[in-house]
Structure 1
Amino acid sequence: MHSTGEAGWSVMGTGTIATEHMVAAIRAAGHRPLWAVSRNRQYAAHFSQDMEIPGISVDARRTLQDPRVGFAYVSAARDRRRHYIQAAAAEGRHVLCDGPIAASSRIAATLAETCRNAGIVLALNQPFRALSPHQTMRRLLQEGEIGTLQSLLIARGAPFQPPPNRHPDEETDHGDALFEMSVDSIDLARFLTGQEPAAVSALPAVPPGNGAGQQAYAIEMSGGAIFQSYESFTTAEFDSIVMLAGDRGTLLAHGTLSGKGSGALVRRLNGRNELIPIRDRDQHVTTVEAFIALPQKPAGWMSVGEDNVMALRTAEAVRAAQQKRPASIRTR
C-alpha cells in the first residue's frame, strides 16, 4: 500500500453541486484537490476550471498513481462508483464516496471486501450522520437522557425534484429515488440507535405517473426498538421529523433531512419541551476531517463500506416486503 501522508486528492465525478461543497471542504481541512476526473474530458476540464483544480483526466488510475495523491473522493454517477473504488483500491488510496456505493448489497459487499483486502479505508459521505442535531441525539440517547429506546420515527416529504446537477443532460432515475431515500433513512436509524435491523414489514409503494411515489415501512431493531419510516414525493413539502422515543422522554429533530440547514432539536421530558442548543458545523468539513483521521483515529459516527452494505441489504428487504399483498380489512 502506498503511503497516505500526501495531502492531495483525486476528485472523481464532476456532476453535482454537492461535489463543489466537498472540494471546498477538502481545502478547508488543509488538503489539496489535484485532479478532476470524468469519463467526459470536457466535463473534467470545465470542473477543473470552475474549482481551480490543476489536473484533468479521464483515466482514474493515472491520477491515483500521482505520488502527491493520498485520497480519492468519488461522486460519480452510481453505476461508475464501482470502477473508481476498484481503481483506488488497486493503488492503495483511501476512498470517500457518496452513497450508496453500488446498486445492490451484493456489489457493495464485494467492494467493501476489495478495500478491506487492500488495506484501505472505504468511507461514505453521509451528510445526515454529520449533522449536529443527529450526533447530539445519539449522544443523549447513549447517556440515558430519554431512558430505554422504544421507537424511532423518520418522516419526510416533498414534491419530487431531481438533485441539483451541473449537467442538465444527465437524467435522474425516478424509479430509484425512493430506494436511495430508504437506504439513507435506514443508515440514519442504525447510526442513531446503535441497533441492527432484524425484521421488516412494508406497505406496497405507491408510484404516481412519474414513477416516484410514497412508501411506509416498519423495521424491528435488534435491541427491541421499532423503527417506522414514511418517505414521499407526493406531498407538499413539510418539515422532516426524526424522533427517538424512550420510556422516560423523547428527542425530536425538525427539518434536518431537507438539505436546507441543520434544523432544530427538542427534548421532551415530564410534559415539557426544551429546545437544545446546537453548535452548527459545516457537515462537509466535518466529514472530510473525520475521514482524513480514520486510518489513525476511528470515528464511530462515520459510515464505512460495511455500513452501506447493511443499509442496502435492509432496503432490498423493504422492497421485497412491498411486493407482498397486505391483508385488507372489511368494514362491513
Structure 2
Amino acid sequence: MTKWGLIGASTIAREWVIGAIRATGGEVVSVMSTSADRGQTYAEAQGIAKAVTTLEDLVNDPDVDAVYISTTNELHCDQALAAAKAGKHILCEKPLAMSLADARAMVQAAKDAGVVMATNHHLRNAATHRAMREAIRAGRIGTPLSARVFHSVYLPPHLQGWRLDKPEAGGGVILDITVHDADTLRFVLDSDPVEAIAFAQAGGMGKAGLEDAVMGVLRFENGVIAQFHDGFTTKFAETGLEIHGSEGSLIGRNVMTQRPIGTVTLRDASGEQDLPLDPRNLYETALAAFHAAVDGNGKPSATGEDGIWSLATGLAVVEAARTGGTVKIAPGL
C-alpha cells in the first residue's frame, strides 16, 4: 500500500484526489499546510491522521511513500526537489513549474532519486479521449488534418482567487487550462506540438493584467492544425473536442471536464455512430496507474516529461499572445 502525504490542503485534493487515492488502494497519512489551523481542520474533515506546517516535516516522514503537490504553481519546483531528495514518489499538479528549466530540474531529480514522477493531467484518462485516440490509431478517420478544442468555462467563485490576481503564482487561463488542451491533443493525436499563435483577452475577471480567455492555433509535428478556445468567463458554453480527418470526423461533446461524462460521435461516409465508452473516474484511473508504477508495473498515465511538454506549449502560447507572433514550442527534453 502506498502511503501519501499531501503538500497543500487544496480543493482539488479534497474533491477528487483523496478519494481516488483511497479507491485505488492507497492511504493518505499526512497533510501539509502553512496554516496550522487550516491544516488541522482539513485533516479532521478528511480523516487524515497527521497535519504538519512545514515541507520538511512532511517529506521526511518515514510513513510517507509519495506526495501529491497541489500548491500554487511557483511553489512546485522546490517542493518536488525536496520530495525527490527524500526519496518520495511525486504526483504534481500542472503546470509543473513556472519555467522549463525548473520543470526539467524536477524531472531529472526524480530520475536521479529513482522515484516515480507524474503530472496530474486528468483529461487523458477520460474514456472519451481514449476512444478518440484508439479510433485514430485504427484509421477510422483516415489521416488527421485538423482539430478544435472548446474549453471555455466559468471559473466558480471558490476557485478564483490566485488564478485571477497573482501572475507570480502562474495565474491566468493559459497556464491553468491551455496546458490541459496541449496534453489532451498530444495524447489523442499521438503527436507533439511544434508552434503556436494566439490572442489573449481580458474580459473583466482577471486582475493585474492576467488573461481570462485565449484563442489560438497549434501546429503539430504530424501536420495537424488545432484551434483552441479557453476561458474563465463563459457561463453557458459546453466543452468539446473535434478531430477531423481525410475520411471522417470525431465529435466529442462535454469532454473537457473532470467528470466521467460526454459522448464521441464518428461521422464518415456511412453516416454517424456513437463510439462505445466505459466511463470511469478520471482520477482513479490516474492513481491506479501511479500505484502500479510505484510497484514497478508500467508508468503513470501522464509522466513528468508529459508535464514538460504541456508547460512548454503553455509558455509558447503566453509568448505568442504577448508578441502577436508565431512561437516555436521547444521543451528541451
TM-score, normalised relative to structure 2: 0.87
What is the deviation of 1:163?
A: 5.3
Corresponding letter in the other structure for 1:19: R
What is the deviation of 1:155?
A: 1.3
Match of 2:99 among 66, 79, 104: 104
Query: What number of residue pairs does the alignment pair up?
Result: 315
Q: Deviations over 1:164-204 (max 9, x none)?
A: 48xxxx543356231121111111111111111112222x3
Query: Identity of counterpart residues, as a percentage?
Result: 25
Gaps in structure 1 of 5+ consecutive residues:
1-5, 327-332
- 8 Å contact 2:6–2:28 — kept in the other structure? yes
User: Cα 1:35–1:325, aligned 2, differ >3 Å: closer, same or farther?
Assistant: closer
Aligned partners of 2:68, 2:258: CA distance in 1, in Å? Answer: 20
User: Cα 1:324–1:77, aligned 2, differ >3 Å: closer, same or farther?
Assistant: closer
- 8 Å contact 2:261–2:279 — kept in the other structure? yes
- 8 Å contact 1:19–1:75 — kept in the other structure? no
1:266 maps onto 2:261 in alignment: no
Aligned partners of 1:82, 1:144: CA distance in 2, in Å? Answer: 40
Q: Deviations over 1:130-184 (max 9, x none)?
A: 111011111111121211111121112234434548xxxx543356231121111
1:151 maps onto 2:146 in alignment: yes
Q: Please name the residue that 2:330 is paired with.
A: none
Q: Please name the residue that 1:256 is paired with.
A: 255
Aligned partners of 1:319, 1:260: CA distance in 2, in Å? Answer: 28
Corresponding letter in the other structure for 1:173: L
- 8 Å contact 1:20–1:51 — kept in the other structure? no
What is the deviation of 1:120?
A: 1.4
- 8 Å contact 2:153–2:237 — kept in the other structure? yes
TM-score, normalised relative to structure 1: 0.88
Aligned partners of 1:249, 1:18: CA distance in 2, in Å? Answer: 39
Q: Please name the residue that 2:236 is paired with.
A: 237
Q: Please name the residue that 1:311 is paired with.
A: 310
Q: Please name the residue that 2:17 is paired with.
A: 22
Q: Where in structure 2 are the equivalents of 1:125-204 lying within 5 Å?
A: 125-162=120-157, 164=159, 171-174=162-165, 176-180=171-175, 181-202=177-198, 204=199
User: Cα 1:13–1:116, aligned 2, differ >3 Å: closer, same or farther?
Assistant: same
- Please say which of residues 251-260 and 273-282 is displaced more in the overlay: 251-260
Q: Please name the residue that 2:26 is paired with.
A: 31
Q: Which has the larger radius of gyration?
A: 1
Gaps in structure 2 of 5+ consecutive residues:
326-333
Q: Deviations over 1:64-112 (max 9, x none)?
A: 3333321111112222222321121011111111111212222212211
Q: Please name the residue that 1:321 is paired with.
A: 320
User: Cα 1:259–1:7, aligned 2, differ >3 Å: closer, same or farther?
Assistant: closer
Q: Please name the residue that 1:225 is paired with.
A: 224
Corresponding letter in the other structure for 2:125: A
| Structural RMSD (CA) | 2.1
- Please say which of residues 11-20 and 306-315 is displaced more in the overlay: 11-20
User: Cα 1:265–1:230, aligned 2, differ >3 Å: closer, same or farther?
Assistant: same
Aligned partners of 2:286, 2:251: CA distance in 1, in Å? Answer: 23
